[in-house]
Chain A
């Protein structure tokens, strides 16, 4: 068990979560599985943001969808305030659904194009039979205001808005039921730069006001560092590194994290000219035929013989956890 630094209990704990997808059945040899998430564990504390970074196909979105139970985990547990929700039926999940919400990546796909903004934001309340019609309308107006939209936007349709405005509508919808945990699945990667900062600020403001926790998923490390208290780095379904945001960023331990940080483009010509960049060769291996050893061993500049044999276990260095043989 890990050491508890605070008295408070985590809002969400993920314990050895695994999600495998069947990729192909074979008659003579075992079936192929895509190991989208493979043995991931961490906690999210009240009022805390955990950032999850990794390249496409690393399983971060699958993990998010498993945590919020769009998918059922293949193994392991998802605990919400101590209750294991990983195998609950849909009916028994319902009370938890209200408290865990999700903001989606694509603001153009996450709002039903056939309904007005008012109907979209009001829907969660309608589903949970919250308040009367006028009460719900009042709340929708309040939520619109909270995300910086105008009262008359309530009767408009999603396609009339810009990407940033739509994302704010999506945020208003998730807030409708007053959740205490929100998963943000790459909420800013489809948005323009000036709008990204707007959304990040809005999320931080809401966190301060409502005291909720975020699981924030992104492939852009700089923004994740800005909003997160803790950062986890994922690669090929595995969690490679986990720790305080500044600690992970300033003092990355895993070779992959180092490469990721050094590859991120910085909006500063001087730094771009002088910065030392770790060049990764090759590409992420297919998750069906993942390496037997450390998932990163095929591209790692510091790969050793033992890395090829078995995946390393998480080593804990004063709360900064890393899965690499260098630190065992």
Chain B
């Protein structure tokens, strides 16, 4: 049984301009101890999907449909167990957030309270979810700080967040995410705000933790370099859908979807020299207020065909782990799809 399984998740936001479908039918699963990367541009729904899982959507957003199975139990607010009872859902999520699923955000200061000592925040986090004495919690907190590589942890335990550098703050956030030995850590761009040399340290730390404690990590990022360094499997998202999924090597060495290819070509690697035209994807991510009926990538796709405009492509598997969603690869399904559409 997978640790986390998301089935056909749809998330919608009500805005002044209309309903924005931020996540449109996303399904995937994470196994115990697995390192999954979710890659996408801003507005691709990569973060929103995770916030929906944690029940942290903004007030104008809601899960329109889908199931979220954590350890085999549906923890979506639509689940029958919480039918018409948002309080029960909130109660349930309180027990899961920070306890069984840890979270790391891009900006550590959104997580840390600036007027509380770092140590206090860590111990409170532990006491909140576990029954132990204050002394035990304190010792745990200090050993966590040591574990995430904070030098002279005993002294820094008594300091305030502003006395820490960006990298050290992110370590504190990781420490608090680890406090209750969660089985899953969701990391939303945890290294984007950090310097390269510090970024490498944080990634290494995350990988070591995942290995040692058999914790699954979902890494949400737009940086393919981060994914290449950390992850085992990758989902590529575009405009609220997963357009390609596969193992790390499949995605990097055998990309199939035109978006994945474009993405990989638009980053330069160490190997190539000089400034001879990077290949880039033209245009901007689509306006989610008004998507065309077919493939969302069509307006920017170099291989777009007429069918892409009108009909949504269907998944096509290349191997048990690798599949993409593009009309170039699922041509044989065209008749079936178009017939279905004209019927219903």
Contact = CB atoms under 8 A, between A and B. Distances in A.
Contacts of B198: 55, 283
A265 B199 contact: yes
Interface in B169-213: 195-201, 203
A281 B173 CA distance: 20
B125 interface: no
Contacts of B166: 56
Given A195-B284, A204-B275, A265 B270 contact: no
Interface in A117-169: 148, 161-165
Contacts of B199: 263, 265
A321 to B, nearest CB: 21
A191 to B, nearest CB: 9
B240 to A, nearest CB: 15
Interface string A213-255: 0000001111101111000000000000000001001100000
Contact of B266 (A193, A264, A266): A193
Contact of B196 (A55, A195, A249, A250): A55
Contacts of A260: 196-197
Nearest to A228: B275
B313 to A, nearest CB: 20
Interface stretch (B86-94, B218-226, B318-326): B218-226
Contacts of B281: 194, 197-198
Nearest to A160: B287
B124 interface: no
Contact of B228 (A55, A266, A279): A266
Q: Which of B249, B262, B267, B285 has the largest number of chain A CB atoms within 10 A?
A: B267
B344 interface: no
B85 interface: no
Interface in B271-294: 273-275, 277-282, 284-285
Interface in B214-270: 222-229, 248-249, 252-253, 262-270
B165 A268 contact: no
B41 interface: yes
Contact of B197 (A55, A193, A195, A268): A55
A249 B268 CA distance: 13
Nearest to B44: A192
A198 B282 contact: yes
A263 B252 contact: no
A65 to B, nearest CB: 20
B196 A269 contact: no
B228 A272 contact: yes
B42 interface: yes
Contacts of B224: 193, 267
Given A263-B197, A265-B228, A194 B262 contact: yes
Given A268-B228, A272-B229, A196 B248 contact: no
Nearest to B252: A269
B168 interface: yes
A219 B282 CA distance: 24
Contacts of A314: none
Contacts of A161: 284
A164 to B, nearest CB: 5
A292 interface: no
B263 A193 contact: yes
Contacts of B108: none
Contacts of A200: 278, 280
B196 A268 contact: no
B45 interface: no
A268 B269 contact: yes
Contacts of A269: 228, 248-249, 252-253
B222 A192 contact: yes
B196 A264 contact: yes
Given A194-B41, A267-B224, A162 B277 contact: no
A226 B278 contact: yes
Contacts of A228: 275
B167 interface: yes
A271 interface: yes
Contacts of A265: 196, 199-200, 203, 223, 225-226, 228-229
A228 B274 CA distance: 8
A280 interface: yes
A265 B167 CA distance: 16
A201 interface: yes
A193 B223 contact: yes
A259 B227 CA distance: 20
A222 B270 contact: yes
Contacts of B165: 283-284
12 contacts: A162-B43, A164-B284, A193-B263, A193-B267, A194-B41, A198-B280, A200-B278, A201-B278, A226-B274, A266-B270, A267-B252, A269-B228
Of all A-B residue pairs in the complex, the 6 with the closest CB atoms, nearest first, are A265-B225, A197-B266, A197-B280, A267-B224, A55-B195, A192-B41
Given A220-B196, A249-B273, A267-B267, 18 more contacts: A193-B223, A197-B267, A201-B277, A221-B196, A225-B268, A226-B278, A246-B273, A263-B197, A265-B196, A265-B199, A265-B200, A265-B226, A267-B228, A269-B253, A272-B225, A272-B228, A280-B197, A283-B198
